[in-house]
Amino acid sequence: MSAQNTDARLIAAIDKQATTLRDEPSDFDAIIEAARGKQVVLIGEASHGTQDFYRHRAQITRRLIEELGFAGVAVEADWPEAYALNRYVWGREEGRGASQVLDVFKRFPRWMWANTEVRDFLEWLGEYNASQTRQQKEERPVGFYGLDLYSMGSSANAVIKYLDKADPAAAKRARERYACLHEFFGEPHFYGQSVAFGLSESCEKDITEQVMELQNQSQRRLLRLGMVAGEEQFAAEQNARLVRNAEEYYRAAFSGGQNTWNLRDGHMFETLQALRSHLSHQLGRDAPVVVWAHNSHIGDASATDMGRRGELNIGQLAREHYGDKALLVGFSTAEGEVTAASDWDSPAELKRVRTPLADSYERIFQQVDADSFLLDLRQQNEMTELLAEPRLQRAIGVIYRPETERQSHYFRSSLPRQYDFMVHFDWTVALQSLTDPSGELDQEPAETYPSGL
C-alpha cells in the first residue's frame, strides 16, 4: 500500500476515533476517568512557550485535584524557585500575590514559569487550599514542587539558610562542605570544566556527606515534626540531594562519561519518588502526583529516537516503576505562534510555528476534520495500529530555530507506545510572559526577510 493510501486510511481512522474538543469542562472526561487509581499522571507540552498547552494542562490538573484528590504538582523547574511557589499556595507568603512570587525566576528562560497561565493556576490553587471546607477539615495543602537540577548554588544556600535556624552547628558543617563549590555557584558549568582539566578537586565526597547527614537527621526528627516543619525539613533534604546530583551532572558534562540527559531525568524521577513518599507519609495514604514537563521528558523515551540512543526519561522510568499506575498525556500543535528564543540566554521572541513537515504526526493531524481533538492511544484499533508506524514528531523547547527545523526540532517516534493520550490543536497562540508587561515580545522578522518575497 502506498504512503498516500496509508495516510488517507489513518486520517479516516482518526476522524472516527477522535474526541472533538469544544472548550467545555467535559472535553477531558476520558483523561480524568483514566486517571482514577493512578499514582502519577504526566502531562506534557510540545513547546515551552504555547499558551494552549499550559492552559489546558492546568484545566486537567484542577480536575485531578478536585475530583481525584491528587496531592501535588511537580514541574520541570528547579526546586528552590518552585518551593517559593509552594509557600505561596500554602498561604505562607502573606501580602504577596502570585505575580510577585513568580519574580523568583531570574534566569533564562523566565517566561517558562513566570507567565500568565502559571500565575492563574497558582492563584486558583492558593484559593483552593484556603477554602473553608479544607480549612475546617484541616486538610494538607496541595503543593507545587520543582524537579530539575540547575540550581546548584541556590540549593546549597537554601540548605545553609534552613540549618542556620534548625541546627547552627550543622549549618557550620554545611558551609565547610559547600565551600569547595562556592566559587562556581554563578557559573556551575565552569566547575565541571575545572575538574575535568585538573584545576580543581572534585567536591563529590563533601556534598555526599551533607546529603547523608540531612537524611539521617530527617529520620530522627520525622516522627516529632509537624506538617509545616516536616515540609521545610524535606525541602532542605531535597536541596542537598540536588546539589549532589548537579555536581555529578556538571562533572559528567565535561568528562565524556555518563549521559547528562539520563542524569538529569534520573534526578527528576528520583525527586518525584521522594516527593510521593513524603506526601504519602504526611497524608497517611497513597499520594498521587501530577507532573508538568515537556513531551520529551514525559513521553516514553523507549518509543523514540532517544531510546535508540540509550537515553531515558521520566515517562519511561514512570512506566517501568509504576506500570499501569502511570498515565502519560502529550500535547501537539500544527501551526501558530510560540514564545521562544533564538539562542540560549537570548531575549524571548514571538515566533511563527511553521507548517509541519511531511511524514510527521502533526501533518496528519492537520488533515483531520476537527481543529482540536483528544486521542485515546490505549485502544487496540485501526487508528492505533496505523499510528504505531514511526513518524516524525516536533519538539520545540525554549529555543526555536525554524531555519533548521528538521535537524533541530523533529525526532521519530511511535505515538501509541509513547503516550496514553494525545491532545492536538491545529492552531495555538504564544505564552504571555509576566516579565513583558507591555504584552509585546520581540518580533522576529517575517519569514521572507530580507527580500520580503
pLDDT tens for 260-309 read 999 999 999 999 999 999 999 999 999 999 999 999 999 999 999 999 99
Tell which residue, 328, 325, 201, 313, has the closest CA to residue 268: 313
CB atoms within 10 A of CB 219: 9
Question: Does the pLDDT at position 251 exceed 70?
Answer: yes
Question: Does the pLDDT at position 384 exceed 60?
Answer: yes
Question: For residue 422, which phi and psi values (nearest 5 degrees)?
Answer: -130, 130
Angstrom distance (rounded) from CA 400 to CA 409: 8
DSSP character at residue 346: P
What pLDDT is stored for residue 444 in this prediction?
39
Q: Give per-residue pLDDT as tens, 111-133.
A: 999 999 999 999 999 999 999 99
pTM of the model: 0.94
DSSP character at residue 293: -
Q: Which three cell numbers stand for residue 7?
A: 495516510
What pLDDT is stored for residue 435 in this prediction?
80
Q: Give per-residue pLDDT as tens, 432-447.
A: 999 864 444 554 333 3
- The DSSP bridge partners found for residue 292 are 43, 75
Largest CA distance in the chain: 73
Provide the pLDDT confidence category of residue 333 given band limits of 50, 70 and 90: very high
Question: Does the pLDDT at position 220 exceed 70?
Answer: no
What pLDDT is stored for residue 116 in this prediction?
98
Angstrom distance (rounded) from CA 212 to CA 448: 58
What pLDDT is stored for residue 174 in this prediction?
96
DSSP character at residue 152: H
Lowest-pLDDT choice from 95-99, 140-144, 175-179, 191-195: 191-195
Angstrom distance (rounded) from CA 390 to CA 412: 6
**Beta strand ranges found along 22-89 (DSSP E):** 40-43, 72-78
What pLDDT is stored for residue 256 in this prediction?
65
Q: Which three cell numbers stand for residue 10?
A: 489513518
What pLDDT is stored for residue 446 in this prediction?
32
Cβ contact 32:385 at 8 Å: no
Average pLDDT, the chain: 92
Which element (helix H / strand E) includes 350? strand 349-353
Residue with grid cell 513521553, as numbered in its chain: 299
- Taking residues 362-366, report their average pLDDT: 98
Cβ contact 51:69 at 8 Å: no
| Helices 227-255 and 188-196: angle between axes, nearest 10 degrees | 40
Question: Does the pLDDT at position 332 exceed 50?
Answer: yes
Angle made by CA atoms 15, 21, 23, in degrees to the nearest 5: 165
Angstrom distance (rounded) from CA 259 to CA 249: 9
- Taking residues 224-230, report their average pLDDT: 81
Question: Does the pLDDT at position 449 exceed 60?
Answer: no
What pLDDT is stored for residue 131 in this prediction?
96
For residue 265, give every residue at least 6 positions away whose Cβ sits within 8 Å of its Cβ, in sequence order, or none: 297, 312, 313, 314, 317
- Domain layout of the chain by residue ranges: 151-258
